[in-house]
A and B are shown apart, each in its own frame.
Chain A
Amino acid sequence: MILNKPEPPTEERLRAELEGSPVARAVCAAVETAVEPFEITTEGVGIEIRGSSFLPNGLPNRARIKIFSPTPGHTLVFFYKKSLVPYSRDRYSYGGIDLRTTEVAQAEVSEWLAFINSGLHPDKRPTNLRRAFPFEIPE
């Protein structure tokens, strides 16, 4: 479920971002029907979703997935956590996937969401994840 879907900025964001990105559409559709709670971020480049559940250790889930297209024909799926320190601009990468097609299998999206829901646990890394992901990632 998307916790903040009814909010106008979220609706506007989804309208703007999903139109040109079949991958983002597939992910958002899967998130919407998921049992676990997610939130859509309304700032920055591309579509960004964060897990909103609590992890087994009692801490809030900080996992995020960012989907954006740096150049035509490339969709990057980037997994990361934001810094806990309010002023820090740092981002903690867990790697990403460079999709060179607009098609994405449902099973692959499920892997991504499981990774997010685990808090980006190493045991849940998606099959195609490239941990060394040397792309400039915009905020």
Chain B
Amino acid sequence: MPPTTPATPSEQLSSGTTYHGITHPLNPCELEIDLFCKGMRVDPSCALEQDARFISRTRAGLGSGLEIVIPGPIKDVWVNVPVEEDFAQQSRYRLVLESGAYSVRDDCKGFRYPVRIPPEPAWYTRTTSRGTPMHKVGVLQGTYLGIYISNSCGFWYHSPALNCRFCATGLNVGVNEVAIKDVGDVVEVARAAKEESGVTFVHFNSGFQTDRDLDVAAPYVKAVKSRVGALVGLQLIPSLDLWKYDRLIDLGADHFSFCYEFQNPEFFAKLLPGKEKLVGQKTFFRALEYTARKLGKGACSGEIIAGVEPVEDTIKAIDYITGLGAFPTVCIFRPTIGADMEHWASPRYEDMLVVFRHLYEACRKNRIPIDVTPNIEVSLIVQPGDTRYLAPRNWRTRWYGTQMGLARQIARPYFWWKRRPKSITASEVLSP
């Protein structure tokens, strides 16, 4: 698996002359995928300082891009577009501002795609009552609040380092983020995000905490659920102490996601040395299988990275995850600044299109609920709901769409109830 040399600008331009073999503009999901693969340059005409959320690299570095919204007839698509990495500086796409409106220009094809720039919430520039800048506690990623709860990731502190090779988490803490998040700060930020930004979902993640990952997360879950009221998700290194998941559910966790990244065990071992040595791929599978059974269809997710292991392995992963009733969270590999894999090539659009067309079909076949929870738009990935733009036009697609539309209506009061502050009696101390 040697790193591949990124295409030079001239190679990129020449490949663009036969780009996709098509002459029509891309639909919102296709554009989303291509922007993840190629990134975007920011034209000097843009006034992002006034119009955009500031860029903040948190949570493995994927949030390093610029948040945009691509409007579309099925749904608007949120994308965190790479703008900082070298490959983005050589992109065919350019964000421009003309007559007060933003668009993404394809400088090779001449297409122009209107986009919106989500504004920076007022609370980003405020501090908590302890004096912590709120944007250093949590940031909006799409329409949800993402909080990296604890002090970096233990994999980074081994010698030699066992960090995941695509990851930049260990590089962020202390530079762009507060190292240890105070529970009171988190509550204040979650409350501001809920009240002012309409956030419905608070997502906590953390790096390796020496098998105390679930313990560390528990007080935050209880605090947000009881004092703010929101859907709460956790993305942590898994544990074989499965009873801890039961306790976290009692404390208010609505969702668990498991980042096992690669289905192919060789890629898992080589590129995730910490997860291989100290956790094991099977632990991820056991925890995902257990929580998916406990919480039901569509509540948990398996997270993988597309564009590094062979496409067939990514497709196997999607089939495995959806077969469990979980939804697939598929990140398009981003060679983020500072990561060991910074100099690897960004994935090919054509390969990613195959992956996401399959993702739609796998969700449909397994009846995975997509876009049912209210106002959760994730900008860092191609959401299963976004892939509706890639669906074949046939009666199966229409039937699935009808079912999901009904599910959305039926689930509305349930999610309203889930987002109310709850009285929680379970103890947040998991292990004495």
Contact = CB atoms under 8 A, between A and B. Distances in A.
A131 B61 CA distance: 14
Interface string A123-139: 00000000111111100
Interface stretch (A18-26, A39-47, A80-88, A104-112): A80-88
A94 B153 CA distance: 16
Contacts of B175: 80, 91, 93, 133, 137
Nearest to B342: A122
Contact of B55 (A80, A83, A134): A83
Nearest to B48: A87
B54 A87 contact: yes
A89 interface: yes
Contacts of B337: 81, 92
Contacts of B166: none
B6 interface: yes
Interface residues of A, number: 28
Contact of A84 (B83, B153, B161, B179): B83
Interface in A16-60: 57-59
B176 A91 contact: yes
A134 B83 contact: no
B138 to A, nearest CB: 16
Interface of A: 57-59, 80-81, 83-95, 120-122, 131-137
A52 B174 CA distance: 27
Given A58-B9, A122-B343, A137-B175, A89 B54 contact: yes
Contact of B49 (A84, A86, A120, A122): A86
B283 interface: no
Nearest to B50: A87
Interface residues of B, number: 39
Contacts, number: 88
Contact of B152 (A57, A95, A134, A137): A134
Contact of A136 (B52, B161, B174): B174
Contacts of B6: 57
B170 interface: yes
Give the 5 A-B CB pairs with smallest separation, nearest first: A87-B49, A132-B156, A132-B170, A134-B174, A93-B171
A81 B219 CA distance: 35
Nearest to B58: A90
B171 A59 contact: no
Contacts of A90: 54-57, 64, 84, 176
Given A87-B54, A89-B54, A131 B84 contact: no
Interface of B: 6, 8-9, 42, 48-49, 52, 54-57, 64, 66, 83-84, 86, 89-90, 151-153, 156-157, 161, 163, 168, 170-176, 179, 337-338, 340, 342-343
Give the dominant DSSP class at B's interface.
loop
21 contacts: A57-B86, A83-B84, A84-B83, A84-B89, A85-B42, A85-B48, A85-B84, A89-B54, A90-B55, A90-B64, A90-B176, A91-B175, A92-B84, A93-B171, A120-B338, A122-B343, A131-B171, A132-B161, A136-B174, A137-B174, A137-B175
A103 B32 CA distance: 51
A27 B161 CA distance: 28
Given A92-B337, A122-B342, A122-B343, A85 B174 contact: no
A131 B161 contact: yes
B86 A59 contact: yes
B338 A94 contact: yes
Nearest to B5: A57
B338 A88 contact: no
Given A84-B89, A90-B64, A121 B171 contact: no
Nearest to A86: B49
A51 to B, nearest CB: 15
A109 B174 CA distance: 24
Nearest to B174: A134
B110 to A, nearest CB: 24
Contact of B174 (A92, A131, A135): A135
A131 B153 CA distance: 12
Contacts of A57: 6, 8, 86
B84 A134 contact: no
Nearest to A84: B84
A120 B57 CA distance: 18
Most B-side CB within 10 Å, residue of A83, A89, A133, A134: A134
Contact of A92 (B52, B338, B340, B343): B338
